[in-house]
């Protein structure tokens, strides 16, 4: 009964998410996707000062498919954490946090109003903080504080955008708006989305969030927290397109983020951080795609990325769990012999990540690169995007070298085969990683075709897709002289995410802490004490003493008060008389 009680919460959560996913699948393909219609339900809460406060819910192809994928991935993650969190005492509490996390994301998906979006937006931020600090140590607390502070910046920007929307008396930002503050509102929404999706200069919190348990990382980095910013920008793209300068900035920042994260992943040795940086690189690619004017292709890549990235994290979590929490790639090795199923599926997910043809990642990545070629983009911008896309095979090759490398992996030898819960949860996501892109392209008409580039463009895309294999060849043959001579001197700069962590993490936190301490000294303990609580208390105290002295009842006190009043008021009577 104790085992049944331990398993009841995650099993029920997994079953619930799976049923919701299947329900969304039926509703989507039968009523929304095939017909191509959009349903908007709206409940009026109250009407006040000319503003109609409503709660809208939108049902279209994008929201239904995204919710279906979120619930399917959450179902697999809930099943996986039965094995991964087998030693956890507070399993029900952890499961409740996961359910609250997924519910907040679904609320964000279906609500198009900027005011009600804050419910899911803030829910993701609060619950993510509780999940990141779940292990309750100094590293987790530092990562949690960095995560929640970066997310609060986005919250503040969205609240400012809502304040400017008072000029229109309309909270549904998806409709066309014009006015003096239009560009400011668009910029606030875009920068708010950039904070959630960890774009430059807000990138430091995403690798730090790896302090959370691996099931949480699988949810955060595949379909929930980091994708919320991308989804927000795509959902409100119909209004953002009227401000091309904001989208121009978004495209440039997304390209730089993709390049920065890809270079950092090529130097990282921690298995989970390599996967986290690959997520950051793909998020930059999505933001770049939205910036150049292809939001549908960006959301298509968002869906395919969610499938294979969740698979990648679950396979890595299975290896880490079998290796007694060992994440260093220099120690791990020979996983293909010791854990054949997890190692094989990790290899498959890495191949999908690098864009192997006819797997899920290929369909969306190929469309994005075609869009970059066919669009009106500069040569340097296309070069940065091609290099960033080519680096995906380099860090995917590094993951494969960890699996098939010559590390000791002695900590794994004491374990047997993977748990049945791990096998089932990983197997469910394998079908999505292999067939998800093909199925979505077949049933979703909007991404079923695209303007083809020329033969030269296709040749360049093929070279970018497979050019990173040279890294694996050099690594296997031991040819590292060229690599060390070219980038050896820049390794510290490249591996530290271009020192973004020092800018968006330590610098901002240091300025905030120093400013807070000075405000405490000069305001809380200084002026506010004199004119605030202590000052008011002292003045009331002296006034009470005077009042007591006046009310003693002696004749001398009454005469003294009478003389003071006469002296004060007689000159005033003469002046006014």
* 159-190 pLDDT per residue, tens: 888 888 776 666 666 555 566 677 888 888 88
CB burial class (10 A; 0-12, 13-18, 19+) of residue 103?
middle
Helices (H), 339-454: 340-353, 360-374, 379-404, 420-443
Give pLDDT, residue 275: 87
- How far is Cα 399 from Cα 407, in angstroms, rounded to an integer? 13
Q: How many distinct helices (H) and strands (E) make up the chain?
A: 27, 2
Chain Cα centroid distance, residue 232: 11
* Cα gap 236→221, rounded to integer Å: 22
Q: Which DSSP state fits 328? A: B
As beta bridge partners, residue 132 has none
Residue carrying structure tokens 């047997």: 416
Q: Distance between CA atoms of 195 and 212, rounded to whole angstroms? A: 19
Higher pLDDT, 547 or 409: 547
Q: Does 3 score more than 60 pLDDT? A: no
Establish whether the linkage from the previous residue to 201 is cis, with ω within 30° of 0. Answer: yes
Contact (CB, 8 A) for 226 and 198: yes
CA distance 452 to 454: 7
Residues 6 or more apart whose CB falls under 8 angstroms from that of 379 comprise: none
> Higher pLDDT residue, 573 or 354?
354
- Residue 111, helix vs strand vs coil: coil
Q: pLDDT tens digit string along 258-297?
A: 888 888 888 887 888 888 888 888 888 889 988 888 888 8
Q: Looking at the predicted structure, is the pLDDT value of residue 485 above 60? A: no
Q: Is the pLDDT of residue 538 over 60?
A: yes
The CA-atom distances, in angstroms, between 287 and each of 190, 341, 368, 513 are 10, 34, 11, 32
Q: Which of 160, 97, 159, 152 is nearest to 125 (CA)?
A: 152
- Average pLDDT on 62-83 reads 87
Which class for 436: exposed (0-12), middle (13-18), buried (19 or more C-beta within 10 A)?
A: buried
Residue pair 347/400 in contact by the 8 Å Cβ criterion: yes
DSSP string of 198-230, one letter each residue: T-TTS-THHHHGGGS-HHHHHHHTTTSHHHHHH
Q: Using CA atoms, how far apart are residues 47 and 163, in angstroms rounded to an integer?
A: 18
């Amino acid at each position: 009964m104790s085992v049944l009680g331990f398993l009841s919460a995650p099993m029920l959560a997994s079953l619930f998410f799976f049923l919701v996913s299947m329900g969304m699948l039926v509703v989507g393909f039968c009523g929304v996707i095939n017909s191509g219609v959009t349903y908007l339900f709206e409940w009026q809460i109250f009407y006040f000062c000319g503003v109609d406060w409503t709660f809208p819910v939108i049902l279209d192809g994008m929201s239904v498919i995204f919710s279906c994928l979120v619930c399917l991935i959450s179902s697999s993650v809930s099943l996986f954490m039965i094995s991964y969190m087998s030693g956890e005492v507070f399993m029900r509490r952890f499961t409740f946090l996961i359910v609250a996390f997924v519910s907040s994301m679904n609320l964000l998906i279906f609500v198009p109003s900027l005011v009600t979006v804050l419910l899911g937006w803030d829910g993701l931020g609060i619950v993510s903080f509780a999940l990141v600090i779940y292990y309750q140590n100094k590293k987790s607390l530092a990562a949690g504080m960095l995560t929640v502070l970066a997310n609060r910046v986005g919250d503040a920007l969205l609240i400012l955008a809502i304040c400017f929307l008072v000029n229109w008396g309309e909270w549904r930002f998806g409709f066309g708006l014009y006015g003096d503050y239009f560009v400011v509102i668009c910029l606030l929404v875009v920068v708010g989305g950039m904070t959630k999706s960890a774009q430059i200069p807000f990138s430091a919190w995403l690798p730090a969030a790896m302090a959370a348990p691996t099931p949480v990382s699988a949810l955060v980095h595949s379909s929930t927290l980091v994708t919320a910013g991308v989804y927000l920008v795509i959902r409100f793209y119909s209004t953002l397109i009227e401000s091309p300068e904001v989208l121009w900035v978004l495209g440039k920042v997304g390209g730089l983020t993709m390049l920065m994260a890809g270079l950092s992943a090529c130097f990282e040795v921690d298995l989970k951080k390599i996967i986290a940086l690959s997520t950051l690189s793909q998020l930059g690619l999505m933001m770049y795609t939205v910036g150049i004017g292809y939001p549908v292709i960006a959301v298509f890549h968002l869906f395919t990325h969610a499938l294979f990235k969740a698979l990648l994290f679950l396979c890595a979590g299975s290896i880490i769990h079998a290796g007694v929490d060992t994440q260093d790639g220099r120690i791990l090795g020979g996983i293909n012999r010791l854990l054949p199923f997890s190692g094989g599926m990790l290899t498959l997910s890495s191949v999908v990540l690098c864009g192997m043809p006819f797997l899920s990642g290929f369909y969306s990545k190929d469309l994005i690169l075609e869009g970059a070629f066919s669009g009106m983009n500069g040569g340097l911008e296309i070069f940065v995007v091609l290099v960033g896309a080519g680096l995906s095979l380099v860090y995917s090759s590094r993951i494969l070298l960890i699996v098939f490398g010559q590390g000791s992996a002695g900590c794994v030898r004491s374990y047997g085969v993977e748990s049945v819960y791990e096998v089932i949860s990983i197997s469910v996501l394998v079908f999505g990683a292999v067939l998800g892109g093909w199925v979505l392209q077949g049933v979703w008409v909007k991404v079923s075709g695209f303007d083809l580039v020329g033969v030269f463009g296709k040749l360049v895309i093929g070279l970018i897709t497979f050019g990173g294999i040279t890294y694996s060849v050099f690594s296997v043959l031991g040819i590292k002289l060229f690599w060390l001579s070219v980038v050896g001197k820049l390794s510290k700069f490249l591996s530290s995410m271009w020192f973004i962590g020092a800018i968006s993490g330590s610098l901002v936190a240091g300025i905030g802490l120093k400013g807070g301490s000075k405000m405490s000294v000069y305001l809380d303990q200084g002026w506010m004490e004199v004119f605030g609580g202590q000052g008011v208390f002292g003045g009331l105290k002296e006034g009470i003493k005077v009042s007591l002295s006046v009310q003693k009842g002696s004749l001398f006190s009454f005469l003294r008060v009478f003389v003071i009043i006469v002296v004060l008021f007689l000159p005033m009577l003469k002046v006014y008389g």
